Amino acid sequence: MGSKIESTIRLRMSAHDAHYGGNLVDGARMLALFGDVATELLIQKDGDEGLFVTYSEVEFTAPVFAGDYIEAYGCIEAEGKTSRKMSFVARKVIATRPDISETAADFLEEPVIVCKARGVCVVPQEKKRHG
């Protein structure tokens, strides 16, 4: 396959992302981030946004709160004629510290993995522009 195709996005979880008490962010938000990463991977590889077909092996490993910064990473691990098998990981890189004050936060020297998953996307043959 040549060089590995990968993508990373980083963003702050907002109060709008908080779904549960204590400003806890819904785990589905991590899957939405993985969807954005997958779209970028498909554009890099095929020149088209493609379609997400399935997630597998989804594992939520740590809580995410409004105000935390999350880095979502993904890469293409295997390719079929139109399918792309991908792996994803989301890491918390900045954590809010409401125990100190409303605006306190820590940059994490060692990011905390909050979610891991695998997925399959497809780009219909007629939509592929390269690759």
Q: pLDDT digits over 16-66, tens only?
A: 999 898 999 999 999 999 999 999 999 999 999 999 999 999 999 999 999
Q: Which is the CATH superfamily of the domain at 6-93+116-127?
A: Hotdog Thioesterase (3.10.129.10)
Q: Which of 121, 122, 68, 106 is nearest to 90 (CA)?
A: 68
CB 66 within 8 A of CB 15: yes
φ and ψ at residue 125, rounded to 5 degrees: -50, -40
pLDDT digits (tens, 9 = 90+) for 80-115: 999 999 999 999 999 999 999 999 999 999 999 999
Q: Is the pLDDT of residue 2 over 60?
A: no
Distance of CA 127 to the CA centre of its chain: 24
Q: Is the pLDDT of residue 69 over 80?
A: yes
pLDDT tier for residue 1 given thresholds of 50, 70 and 90: very low
CB 16 within 8 A of CB 84: no
Give the SS3 label for residue 35: helix
Task: Give pTM, 2 decimals.
Answer: 0.93
Note the pLDDT of residue 126.
87
How do the domains of the chain map onto residue ranges?
Answer: 6-93+116-127
